[in-house]
Structure 1
Amino acid sequence: MAEQKQNTPTVTIFINDNEHISQHETEEENLDDSKVSQWLHPAIFSANDGLVSTASLMLGMGAVSQDINAMIITGFIGLVAGACSMAMGEFITVESTLENDVGERRDPLRAAVAAASAFSVGAMVPLLVTLLMEDYHVTLGVVEGPISVVLAVFGWVGAFLDGSPGCRAVLRVLLWSWVAMVVTFGLLINNDW
């Protein structure tokens, strides 16, 4: 028995007499949008992680040493270590997902570079803010303002990509990020090391 070939219909939408869009073209545009979302969403989370973890490390070091140079060195070490960790984790995850797909060999390296870059961008925020400050006490008070603004932007972009309410996402990102920084600072401020 011969198999019948099924043709999938193409729906044509007429905008006016001269223009029309096929369903196939619309689906291709949606796929392009989803590709952007696929790399942008993890990049936002990596940048957020870089910002919060580096700021927490720097604030913790500031609580112990009360030395701005120690905070900057700690932030730089946190940036390098975190970027390497993000790159390795992303490389391994993507490589294991695509193990059987010979045509996608370069994707794990791209994913690793993207994760490390996004983490580094986030980590640069507290480093740059601290580099601009001269006094330790001013740094601890002032560093939270610019960090909070950038965290709010990350929260809003993440919510936009998810299609969820922006205000709630911003508040959630700010709250949990502040908790991480306060816990790190609080654990070390009263301890004699």
Structure 2
Amino acid sequence: MAANLSNPKLTVSVNDVEQQTTLELDHKDEKFDYSKRSQWLRAAVLGATDGLVSTASLMMGVGAVKHDIKAMILTGFAGLVAGACSMAIGEFVSVYSQLDIEVAQIKRDKQRENQNGVIQTQQLDEEDEETLPNPLQAAAASAFTFSLGAMVPLLAAAFIGDYNVRLGVVVAAVSVALAVFGWVGAVLGKAPVVRSSARVLIGGWLAMAVTFGLTKLIGSRGL
């Protein structure tokens, strides 16, 4: 018993080991760069929010002058398809331009690092490829999340015949979805939750209100 107590290898307590493990996990979490999520997170949150707001605004604008449910649904569906294609193409072109710039910069850095002043290889290694943006991934994320966001007002209005109730349900469903999207984006990006959700929610309300109001004004003048 005395020999075991005097052995320095056995003097570390369980609490010390648990504390050290916790500190190591916290250190790893602190070292994680949340900005690495920005590429796909930006595309996903932007796509979902844009799909939600733009489709709902289109439907509210048409609903301001036409009470027919078919007109609202067709307008929303057209906005979904057109917006998803537009978001995908725009994101692909934008990220591909960024990719070309970063690849060119990496090759310039490799050339400067060569002591002999001769480029040994211009091929990118696996580590370089992992850090580069992916245009296809960004385009797919934008199109998918845009469609996902656009489905919210479409589904909210699809089964309600009464005009006033339909508009109210669309606004309510879009408001909840905007708050959720803002909350998810803030949590994944480690940003302030309340501020992020409020910013997205207020922006969506303004977009729908302006579209509804201007379309109502123009429609009332017979244009």
Moved more, 133-142 or 66-75: 133-142
Aligned to 1:11: none
SS of equivalent to 1:16 = helix
Q: Which runs of 5+ in 1 are unaligned?
A: 1-14
Counterpart CA distance in 2 for 1:44 and 1:30 is 21
Counterpart CA distance in 2 for 1:86 and 1:46 is 7
Between the aligned residues of both structures, percent identity stands at 54
Counterpart CA distance in 2 for 1:134 and 1:35 is 46
Q: Cα distance, 1:163 vs. partner?
A: 3.2
Residues 150 and 111 (structure 1), Cα distance of their counterparts in 2 relative to 1, 3 Å cut:
same
Residues 41 and 111 (structure 1), Cα distance of their counterparts in 2 relative to 1, 3 Å cut:
closer
Q: Cα distance, 1:41 vs. partner?
A: 3.6
Q: Cα distance, 1:60 vs. partner?
A: 0.4
Q: Cα distance, 1:128 vs. partner?
A: 0.6
AA in 2 matched with 1:189: K
Which of the numbers 117, 121, 128 marks the counterpart of 2:148? 121
Tell me which of the two structures has the higher relative contact order, counting C-alpha pairs closer than 8 angstroms and 6 or more residues apart.
Answer: 2
Aligned to 1:70: 71
Counterpart CA distance in 2 for 1:22 and 1:147 is 42
SS of equivalent to 2:32 = helix
SS of equivalent to 1:133 = coil
Aligned to 1:130: 157
Q: Are 2:92 and 2:138, in contact at CA under 8 Å, matched by a contact in 1?
A: yes
Q: Are 2:98 and 2:133, in contact at CA under 8 Å, matched by a contact in 1?
A: no
What value does the CA root-mean-square deviation take over the aligned residues? 2.9
Aligned to 2:86: 85
| Larger CA Rg, structure 1 vs 2 | 2
Aligned to 1:140: 167
AA in 2 matched with 1:118: T
Which of the numbers 135, 138, 141 marks the counterpart of 1:111? 138
SS of equivalent to 1:143 = helix
Number of positions where the alignment pairs a residue of Structure 1 with one of Structure 2: 177
State whether structure 2 residue 181 is matched by structure 1 residue 164: no
Counterpart CA distance in 2 for 1:22 and 1:135 is 59
AA in 2 matched with 1:114: A
Higher helix proportion (structure 1 or 2) = 2
State whether structure 2 residue 61 is matched by structure 1 residue 60: yes
Counterpart CA distance in 1 for 2:133 and 2:201 is 35
Q: Which runs of 5+ in 2 are unaligned?
A: 1-15, 104-122
Residues 169 and 34 (structure 1), Cα distance of their counterparts in 2 relative to 1, 3 Å cut:
closer
